[in-house]
Homo-oligomer: A and B are copies of this chain.
Amino acid sequence: MPKIVDKKAKADRIAEAAIRALRKNGYAKTRMADIAEAAGIGKGTLYEYFADKPAIVRHCFTAYFETFARGMNDAMESAPCPADKLFALLSFALAHALEWEDHCAVVIDQMSCERAEEERAFLTGVYDGMKALIADILSQGQEDGSLDPGFSPETMAALFVSLYDGVILQRLLQEKPLDAAGLSSALSRLLRQGILAEKQDAKQKKGGAPC
Chain A positions near chain B (C-beta within 8 angstroms):
2, 25-29, 42, 44, 108-109, 111-115, 120, 123-124, 127, 148, 150-152, 155-156, 158-159, 161-170, 173-175, 178-179, 182-183, 185-187, 189-191, 193-195, 199-201
Minimum-distance CB pairs A-B, first 9 = A166-B166, A194-B194, A112-B112, A162-B166, A165-B166, A165-B169, A199-B200, A155-B182, A155-B186
> Smallest CB–CB gap between A31 and chain B, Å?
13
Which residues of B lie under 8 Å from residue A156 when comparing CB positions? 186, 190
Which residues of B lie under 8 Å from residue A155 when comparing CB positions? 179, 182-183, 185-186
A-B contact pairs, 7 of them (CB 8 A): A150-B189, A155-B182, A156-B190, A162-B169, A162-B183, A193-B195, A201-B201
A169–B108 CB distance below 8 A: yes
Which residues of B lie under 8 Å from residue A158 when comparing CB positions? 170, 178-179, 182-183, 186
Q: How many copies does the complex hold?
A: 4
On whether A190 and B186 interact (CB within 8 A), knowing A109-B112, A112-B26, A165-B165, the answer reads no
B173–A159 CB distance below 8 A: no
Cα of A163 to Cα of B160 in the assembled complex, Å: 8
> Smallest CB–CB gap between A111 and chain B, Å?
7
Please tell me which one of the listed residues B44, B152, B161, B190 contacts residue A190 in the complex, with CB atoms under 8 A apart: B190
Cα of A189 to Cα of B195 in the assembled complex, Å: 8
Cα of A151 to Cα of B44 in the assembled complex, Å: 54
Please tell me which one of the listed residues B27, B111, B193 contacts residue A193 in the complex, with CB atoms under 8 A apart: B193
B112–A186 CB distance below 8 A: no
On whether A165 and B170 interact (CB within 8 A), knowing A193-B193, A193-B195, the answer reads yes
Can you name the residue of chain B whose Cβ is closest to the Cβ of A24? B115
Which residues of B lie under 8 Å from residue A183 when comparing CB positions? 155, 158-159, 162
Cα of A170 to Cα of B124 in the assembled complex, Å: 9
Which residues of B lie under 8 Å from residue A191 when comparing CB positions? 190, 194
